Structure 1
């Protein structure tokens, strides 16, 4: 498998960070679920059966995601606020603006929440997903 597509996707992530901006009032979730906004989807011609997906995830103050996993690789970057994350049996880590992390396919994302009870938070996320896969799935019981 060629890695050129992965490097291109990572470069797109770096460039797009400056384009995403801060959390706007209309981005803040109001129905109890985080807001996902797809920015770009692209079938990767040099990585067979894989698509790249770039999106933002916005959390209202104090909001959290249900425990989940992603069937593909995930690169996450905090563009606003602070986000607390825990992967598999690792420690909970609070990431601030400019921090990032990586999730291997199938890792259990047991904690993903806004670290603040007063300010919104926003992530820029790049996923490399197998064809036909959903962005995330609840953790099987």
Structure 2
């Protein structure tokens, strides 16, 4: 039971920067950590998963993820507009996904709809020791 409590505490601490990003623009979304586990056959690496929910018109400010983070994002519902690095902004619909390589800049992350909510599953493969999963750009 101690192991589960420790895991939940670690997940909670890792999600704080993500929660700050989701709430920074006044059109707050929610970030819910749902999984965190070291990868047994890749020492020093972990898988972390979270759900990001955007209200209608909600967005996150531009940001970077942990330098080691490879991320796969899968739209669970609604439509998400995303721009990674210098690529074009693109709208992803439920069932579609995209990825971010380590060191990528996420310039746009927002609900593409002003009237319907959107939900995204983000799965990180990251160095186990990385504490900050997301860092907003300095303004």
Q: TM-score range by the shorter chain?
A: 0.7 to 0.9
**Residues 21-56 of structure 1: per-residue CA shift (max 9 Å, x gap):** xxxxxxxx8x63321111111011111211111111
Q: How many residues align?
A: 112
Mean CA deviation greater in 48-57 or 91-100: 48-57
- Contact 2:27-2:57 at 8 Å conserved across structures: no
Kindly report which structure 2 residues correspond to 1:61-80, keeping only aligned pairs within 5 A, or say none. 61-71=56-66, 72-80=69-77
* Superposed CA RMSD: 1.6
Q: Deviations over 1:42-93 (max 9, x none)?
A: 0111112111111110001001101111120000000100000001111010
The within-5 A match list for 1:64-103 is 64-71=59-66, 72-103=69-100
Q: Structure 2: which 5+ residue stretches go unaligned?
A: 1-22
Q: How many Å separate the matches in 1 of 2:54 and 2:121?
A: 12
Task: Return 5+ residue gaps in structure 1 as ranges.
Answer: 1-28
SS of the residue corresponding to residue 69 of structure 1 reads strand
Aligned to 1:15: none
TM-score (norm 1): 0.74
Contact 1:38–1:56 at 8 Å: present in 2 too?
Answer: yes
Q: How does 1:1-141 map to 2 (within 5 A)?
A: 32-71=27-66, 72-133=69-130, 134-139=132-137
Show structure 1 runs of 4+ deviating over 6 A: none
Distance 1:140 1:107, change over 3 A: farther
